[in-house]
Structures are given as structure tokens and as C-alpha cells.
Amino acid sequence: MKKTFLFTVTIALFTLSCKKSSTSGSPYYIKATVDGTAKTFNVNAMAMKMTAAGITSISVFGNVKSAADLEGINIGINNTPSSKPIVAGTYTETNTADFVTAGVYNPGSQTVVWGAGQYPSPTHPLTIVITSIDDKTIKGTFSGDFYYTNTATVQIGPDKKTFTNGEFNVKF
């Protein structure tokens, strides 16, 4: 769990530090329904693939309004501990034997985020389905519960936000 929490915090910090120019007119997007409300994260919507010492991580992230506005999402897959390649398929936070699957939704706060992949026995586990992936783009769907996380106190849960109908189509 400690490894998962560190992965989640790392992708959260990465999302918050991304300050590239807006790409809101782009065909690339991340969208989902959050507790019944449609959200689109099409500003700076992109993916990043990092490999070091046999460990590969793919993060898909974007913002709602601007890079300066903190509201955004980051979902990711890491091939720890298996070192298996990340390919088209289904990844869930409950399959920790091969991959770590995590996500962070920041509602625009300096101290509160909503995280998936760190809460024990989630009701609706984070599931990421990669439908296509190549060296230029990644496309798929996602859903799951993201639990309240206070980054100042490291309090996790029990409040949650449920993401449904999640879709992404982003470039690397």
C-alpha cells in the first residue's frame, strides 16, 4: 500500500507541475462523469511514458480550465512488480500482482485531492481499459471510486467521488 500511495502522490505532483500551453482546441481529450456531473479535462490533455530500470509508467493527464488552474486528473499504470509490457488490455487496482493502477483528481485545492488505487477494498475499483496504444497515442476508458485524501495530514477516505463513463484519447 505504501508503494501505491507513493505512486499516487508522485503522479499528483506531476499533474500539478505541468504548465504547458493550453491545447483546448485539440482533438485529444479526457472526459468522465464525476458523481453524476460531466467533466472534460481537455486542457493539456496528454500522456507520458517513462521507463527506468525496467519499470515502465504511463500517465494520462489533463486540466479542466487552464494549466494554472489546479483542477485536473491523472490516471496511470505502472508495471511494478512484474516488468510486463503495458499493452492494450484491462488494468485494475485490485490486480496488484502485475501492475499498479492509480489515479488522482484534484478539484482545484492545495491540500485536498481524491485518489484511486490506495484505499483498501474499494467499492468500485479503478479500472483502466487501454483500447489502443502506439508510440504516438493512447486511447481507452476508465471508471472507479476516488477517495478523499488530505495531502497535509495524509488522511485517506472514507468520502469518495465515483467516476463513470471515463474516456481518453491523448498523445504521448
Torsion of CA 123, 42, 30, 124, to 10 degrees: 0
pTM (predicted TM-score): 0.85
- HSE value, Cβ hemisphere, 13 Å, CA-based, for 57: 20
Query: How many domains does one find in the chain?
Result: 1
How high is the pLDDT of residue 66? 80
pLDDT tens digits, one per residue of 46-68: 999 999 988 999 999 999 998 77
How do residues 125-141 score in pLDDT, each as one tens digit?
999 999 999 999 999 99
Share of the chain above pLDDT 90, in %: 69
Containing structural domain, residue 11: 2-171
